[in-house]
Structure formats: C-alpha cells, structure tokens
Structure 1
Amino acid sequence: MTFSTRPRARWVALCVSASMLAGCGLPRTGPTKNEIFAGSVQKQGNAFIVSVDDSVTRATEYVPPLGFSSGLINAAVLGSDTVRPGDTLGLMIWENVDDGLLATAGANSTALQEVQVDGDGFIFVPYAGRIRAAGNTPEAIRRIITEKLEAQTPDPQVMVQRMAGDGATVSLIGGIGAQGVYPIERPTRTLTAMLARAGGITLPPDITQVTLIRGAHTGTIWLVDLYENPSLDIALRAGDRILVEEDERFYTAIGATGAQVKVPFETQSVSAIEALATVGGLNTSLADPTGIFVFRDEEPQVAGRVLGREFSDEQRMVYVLDLTSPNGVFVARDFDIRDGDTVYVTEAPYTQFQKILQAIVAPVGTAASLQSLTE
C-alpha cells in the first residue's frame, strides 16, 4: 500500500509537531503562574504565596537597620590640645642663669624638638625625668616640667607645643577625594569635617553609605542622613576607620520584561513599579500583567506580620502583583523592592497558545514547500 506525496507530507508534519509538543520543547521565559502556585506551602511546597494589597504593603514596610549606636553618638568631642601616645611635642626651655643645666655655653635656652610620646604615654626630659604626657594638655605638661626643674635651676621658663604626630589619626578609604591617614585637629574633630578634609564624597549622594569602625563597634549610615541629622555628625577618636562606599543592594528582573538583568539600587528605596520601569517595563508581546511575582527571603518579623503567625527564621515568600486589579497600580507603586529580590513576570496564556500553533503550522508549511518542489 502506498501514500500519495501530499498526505505523506502532512503526516510527517503532524508527527513532528506531536513530537515537539509531547517533549515540552516549546520555549518560554520561565514557569507559568500555575507552576508557581503549585510550589506553595498549601500544596506541599516550601514558599508562602501572598497576593499583595494595601495591608500587605503596610506589613512589609521594613527599613534596613542603618545608624550609629548610642555609644558612638554620645562620645564627646575631644579637646584639640589633648596629648596622646604617638604625638610629637616641641619643648623650649629658658634658664635664668648663664651656666644652666641644659643650655650650652653662651646661651640661656634649649630647644628639644620632636619629643615623641611613647606607647605608655610618657616623655623624657633631661633633669626632669619621665613625665606623663598622654591625657594632659601642653599647658599641664609645661607646669609639670617647670615644677621638676625649679628644684635644680632658678625660675625656669618652659614652652610646650603639640606638633604633628600619629597619636590621634583616622584613616579614610573608599569614594572620597583623597584616601589616606589624617590627624584629628581642631577643625576636623567631627565626621563631616574630616570627610571634607579628605576631599569630599565622589559617589552619588543618594546611594552613598558611610561606615565608621571604632574597635569592635561598627556603624553605617546614609550620607544624606548625615547632613539632615546633626546628631549623626559624631566626634572622632584616634584609630577610627571611615569607609565611604556605594550602596551594594540589587534586585534581579527576569521573565517577560524589557530586559533580564541584575539591577543595582539607584535610590534608597525602589517600588515594584519603579523596578519594572528600570528594566524597560513589561514586554507587551509576552507579559501577563496579572502575573508579576516578587520572590524574597523574608525577615521573620515581617513574615509574621504578613501571615499573622510567629517565625524564628527567614521564610520564603512569593508576593503576587496584579496590575489589572482595582487599585493594582497603586499597590505596585507602594510595594517596596528589597535587596536580593527576584522580580519575575510570567507570560500571558495566549503566548503559549501562539507558540503551539506556530509549532504545528511551521512544519506543515515546510512540508508543503517540499511538496511543491517535487511537483
């Protein structure tokens, strides 16, 4: 028994189409809405799926904990003349005799330049001995030296000057004009003054964070908060490390969007609408505006507010946004995207139907073309 050429071509095309469909070979951007809902906790999955409304938007409001501790904020401004270990002092001593203890012949004054305060906070002055300098002002050190020398030379006159040294310095790195180590001086005793001394900030202000490390304590604030809240302009201490860096938060956009990319935050907060707009919005030929999903590992306290129960660990949450619902665009405008979120837009159902038709029609058309060539 034989088949004509035309029926044979159609039969081959249908077999190829059926094979493609049976193997689920149709291309798509990701899971369908039904497949995502199948992974919910209610269906033995491991994620809570929540439709976003105004109450969910309010419950998910969460500001990352940025700020300085009370210990950093309440530290008093250092006296600009306080001597610290590592500082360098300059001493000038006058003696009211021709042949003094320290002065050379024909001179009645002695200069002791670059006398460094040792690690224990002491300096050594000939005939005065070992003197505690750290924690004292130059004036207090002057009086101590004068009292020590008065017993050995009449009416000594002493002048003490705090020179440049490494005893009270802070280090600045990151997005500033000039990274380096800077001394704490009278004009630069606070954070903003020291940042200005180092050349200012070179990063976009809205996404710049300032971190201060003092021993075992670390605090991070937004740069704009530093200028808006005077209490954050804290007093500096010797050994402080200041890091200025750009916000490292990001979210990922995939699916039927204008672009599928990893997107850094460009402002302190980003709404779902802004997140979609940043990547070119919805793909008008593919996207389903009722199937916009935000995948997130939610903080336990936030998950508890959303679901009305207590959690001790992070929970996998999938938030569903429907732009076609009443108030849907407003809800998406108010719903904040957070660090590490994945924004996924599903394809519209008709898109898969079109792909099925194309998968069937294309082989048939190819077979018809082959038949026309054989005739």
Structure 2
Amino acid sequence: MIFNGTSGTGLRRRVRVRGWQAGVVSAIVLSGCSSMGASGPSTGAIVKTPQHDARVRAVTLSAAVVRSVVAAESRDTFASKLGNFEQRHGLIGAGDVLDISIWESPPAVLFSNAAISSVQAGASSVAQGATFPSQMVDADGAISIPFAGRVRAVGRAPAEVARSIQSRLEGKAHSPQVLVRIGQNQGGGVTVVGDVVNSRNVPLTTRNERLLDVLADAGGVRQPVDKILIQVTRGDTVVTRPLGAIIRDPRENVPLMSHDVVTALFQPYSFQALGALGSNAEVPFEGTGISLAQAIARVGGLQDNRANIKGVFIFRFEDPAALPPELRLGAPLTPEGKVPVIYRVDMSDPSTFFAMQTFPMRDKDIVYVSNAPIADFQKFTNLVSQMAFSVVGLVTTIS
C-alpha cells in the first residue's frame, strides 16, 4: 500500500532508525560528564577535601592569614635557629698540626740544639732552645712532649697548651719558655661547597669568622646574589636563607662553628602551575622569593574563557605555626613536621588582590585554578552537539 509516497516498510525502517538515534543521543547525555576531559578537580571537590581527609586543612586567604604566614616565615632565620653570639674560635681540634718551640735560660740542660741571642739588663747571655717536628693532635686529643709527657690539646687555645707544657717542665728545665701555634688547621673549620668559586675548608680563627667571611674566603658565589640560597648545616639542624636577605640584614650574618657546612645553591626554588592558567609549567623563582600575585602573572594569568575566579588554590606543606589555632590543634604532621594545607583565593573580591601581593610563595607550591561551571557546561554541550550531528549524518546516509 502506498501512503503519501512512502511504503509501510520504509516507514517502519525510518521509525526504527530514529528510535536508534534517540537512544544514542540519550546515551551521550547520560555519559557526557564522565567522558569530558578536565585538568583537575572542580572547586566543589577541593572544598570538600578536608571532609574526606582529616589530614588536610583548608584556609581562605585573607590579610590575617598572610600576616600569620609571614610571621611564621620570619622565625625560620639563621639568627633564631643558629644563634647570633660570638663563638670562641682559634681552639685546637683533633687532627690539627701544631708547631712547638721550647727555650730555657743558661745554663741550658734539656733543650740545647739551637742558640738564640737575647739581651738582658745590658749584659749578653745565650738562651738554648729546641723546635720540635710538627705534631698532629691525635684522636684522643693529646700531644706528646719530651720530659712533659702527654698533654691535652683539644678544645684549648695554643697559649693554654703552652702554659701546661711549661708548668710540667718546671724543675726539669731552667726557666723554660714555651711557644705553641697551630701550623695547619685540619681538625676544625667550616666546609664551603656548592656554587662558589673554590669549594674548600675554611679554618676558623680568633677573628670569629661569620658566614659572609667564609663565603669570601671561598672566592664568593658564581651566580647573581638574588638567585643564590645559602644553606647552613650544623649537626641535625639545616637552615636555608636567601643570600640577598643575609646581606641586607646584619643579624643573619651569623658566627659559624667548627664542622658547619655552608652550601651555596643556585635558584633551587620553583612552583607548579596547573589548571585554567595561561600556561601549565614548573616555574623557577629567585631565592629572595616572589608573591602569589607575581607567580600568577608569570604564567600568563587566568584564562578568561574557562577559569573559575573563586577557584584559585595553593597546595602546600605548611609550618603549623602559620595556621590559625583552631586548625593547628590536633593537626597530624608529616615526617618533616608540616601540615598539608589548601589555601583558597577568591579573586572576585577586590581586597584579595592586596593579600596576594604579600602572600609569599614557597618551594614546591602548587597553584591550581579550577574550571568555571559554565566552562564545563559548554564543553558538555559542544560534545553533545558534535555527537548529535554525527548521528544525524549517519541516519541520513542510512535512510
């Protein structure tokens, strides 16, 4: 039977095809969200993170938060961690090589292999003396002197050792006089390594050398000052500060101790930029530091067509002292003593830009900007439209 130029079989075929088309489009609608790509979690997912992971703390960036972070950072200084008091240098250490000379007045008895002229009250007399081969202070911290025995030297000034030797020679030598000096400082000093002209061990003397003194003795740094970090290791304590900050603040030019290790590091700081930013990359920055506003500007700012201006986040392992008391209490710490923190930045609030200008970036921070909801919706509708047109074309071909 013919009805409006269409056979019953053709009509049924077209109905079946259109039903199949509708099913495909429905499947696209149901699975569209899961099939769309994304550069990271949504703003809602990040905001809910502390509810699912009790180890993470969430903080909204404000002027008060910035003050707390800056205050915590100012406590991590050389002066506070290493002390800024004069050390007693020039002391003898194990492994030091000592030059020792002993004189006695005539008639000399014990030490007579050298003659030294002296004038006393207008009359000429000859004093006898001996210079011993250089002696290295042994592992027990002592040296051996003929007729005086073993004398403790470690931790003492050369003049103190000389007095000890002289007192032991009283009654054996005739009016003995002793001179002790450090010929080679092998047991103490500061090791200077890294991006310096000459990596070396710098002896510490009675000058009470400070940090900049030993850097100068090593020939200085090989890179611009604002790109160098100085790390001082003292036992289990490791503190790092920008060289520029040390030069600007005399309190940071701290006295050093024997066996300190000073390392000059060339621009090791960086942050990672991810999400709806001008570029996604690892971005190095100067040792003197940069602000959050500078960090976002260096990656080209936010993408206008997809960024959520209320969804700017900084992921950081933070010093507990920088957190508000209510978040600090009971916060589980990482093995390094830090707390995982997510700082949220609402760039729809103009006052936030002032806080961004003073919020300091830290090494290994992650700056992430989530997609705006409308951007995700547009991606979804574009996907559905493309698939729907493809299905329509296929149906037209079939029919």
Q: Which category describes the TM-score, using the shorter chain as reference length?
A: 0.7 to 0.9
Per the TM alignment, residue 103 of structure 1 is displaced from its structure 2 partner at its CA by 4.4
Name the residue aligned to 2:6: none
Per the TM alignment, residue 114 of structure 1 is displaced from its structure 2 partner at its CA by 0.8
1:158 and 1:209 mapped to 2: Cα distance? Answer: 46
1:69–1:219: 8 Å Cα contact kept in structure 2? no
1:132 and 1:39 mapped to 2: Cα distance? Answer: 63
Question: Does residue 312 of structure 2 align to residue 292 of structure 1?
Answer: yes
1:70 and 1:101 mapped to 2: Cα distance? Answer: 54
How do 1:142-153 and structure 2 match up within 5 A?
Answer: 142=162, 144-146=164-166, 148-149=168-169, 151-152=171-172
State which of 253, 256, 259 in structure 2 corresponds to 1:239: 259
Question: Does residue 72 of structure 2 align to residue 63 of structure 1?
Answer: yes
Letter in 2 for 1:88: V
SS of aligned partner of 2:35: coil
Name the residue aligned to 1:312: 330
Deviations 1:265-304 (A, max 9, x none): 4354443322222222212332233432334566555543
**Given the superposition, is the C-alpha separation of residues 6 and 182 from structure 1 closer, same or farther in structure 2, using an over 3 Å criterion?**
farther
Name the residue aligned to 1:196: 216
How do 1:23-172 and structure 2 match up within 5 A?
Answer: 23=31, 24-37=34-47, 39=49, 41=51, 51-58=60-67, 61-64=70-73, 65-68=75-78, 72-80=82-90, 82-93=91-102, 101-103=110-112, 110-134=130-154, 136-142=156-162, 144-146=164-166, 148-149=168-169, 151-152=171-172, 154=174, 158-172=178-192
**Given the superposition, is the C-alpha separation of residues 85 and 271 from structure 1 closer, same or farther in structure 2, using an over 3 Å criterion?**
closer
State which of 274, 281, 292 in structure 2 corresponds to 1:272: 292
Question: Does residue 202 of structure 2 align to residue 178 of structure 1?
Answer: no
1:66–1:222: 8 Å Cα contact kept in structure 2? no
**Given the superposition, is the C-alpha separation of residues 299 and 352 from structure 1 closer, same or farther in structure 2, using an over 3 Å criterion?**
same
Name the residue aligned to 2:27: 19
Name the residue aligned to 1:342: 366
Per the TM alignment, residue 351 of structure 1 is displaced from its structure 2 partner at its CA by 2.5
State which of 196, 217, 227 in structure 1 corresponds to 2:247: 227
1:78–1:189: 8 Å Cα contact kept in structure 2? no
SS of aligned partner of 2:258: coil
Name the residue aligned to 2:10: 2
Deviates more, 1:318-327 or 1:147-156: 147-156
1:79 and 1:154 mapped to 2: Cα distance? Answer: 33
Name the residue aligned to 2:384: 360
What is the aligned length? Answer: 370
| Unaligned stretches of 5+ residues in structure 2 | 1-8, 117-127, 333-338
Per the TM alignment, residue 193 of structure 1 is displaced from its structure 2 partner at its CA by 0.9
Per the TM alignment, residue 68 of structure 1 is displaced from its structure 2 partner at its CA by 3.7
SS of aligned partner of 1:31: coil
Per the TM alignment, residue 123 of structure 1 is displaced from its structure 2 partner at its CA by 2.4
**Given the superposition, is the C-alpha separation of residues 14 and 37 from structure 1 closer, same or farther in structure 2, using an over 3 Å criterion?**
farther
SS of aligned partner of 1:63: helix
Give aligned-pair identity as a percent: 27
**Given the superposition, is the C-alpha separation of residues 219 and 327 from structure 1 closer, same or farther in structure 2, using an over 3 Å criterion?**
closer
Per the TM alignment, residue 231 of structure 1 is displaced from its structure 2 partner at its CA by 3.3
**Given the superposition, is the C-alpha separation of residues 67 and 39 from structure 1 closer, same or farther in structure 2, using an over 3 Å criterion?**
closer
Name the residue aligned to 1:351: 375
Deviations 1:82-111 (A, max 9, x none): 434432222344566799544469996533
Per the TM alignment, residue 115 of structure 1 is displaced from its structure 2 partner at its CA by 1.8
1:173–1:243: 8 Å Cα contact kept in structure 2? yes
State which of 345, 355, 359 in structure 2 corresponds to 1:321: 345
Letter in 2 for 1:287: A
1:78–1:235: 8 Å Cα contact kept in structure 2? no
**Given the superposition, is the C-alpha separation of residues 227 and 272 from structure 1 closer, same or farther in structure 2, using an over 3 Å criterion?**
closer
1:336 and 1:95 mapped to 2: Cα distance? Answer: 67
**Given the superposition, is the C-alpha separation of residues 101 and 32 from structure 1 closer, same or farther in structure 2, using an over 3 Å criterion?**
closer
| Unaligned stretches of 5+ residues in structure 1 | none
**Given the superposition, is the C-alpha separation of residues 6 and 336 from structure 1 closer, same or farther in structure 2, using an over 3 Å criterion?**
farther
TM-score, normalised relative to structure 1: 0.76
Per the TM alignment, residue 34 of structure 1 is displaced from its structure 2 partner at its CA by 4.1
2:269–2:285: 8 Å Cα contact kept in structure 1? yes
1:296 and 1:370 mapped to 2: Cα distance? Answer: 51
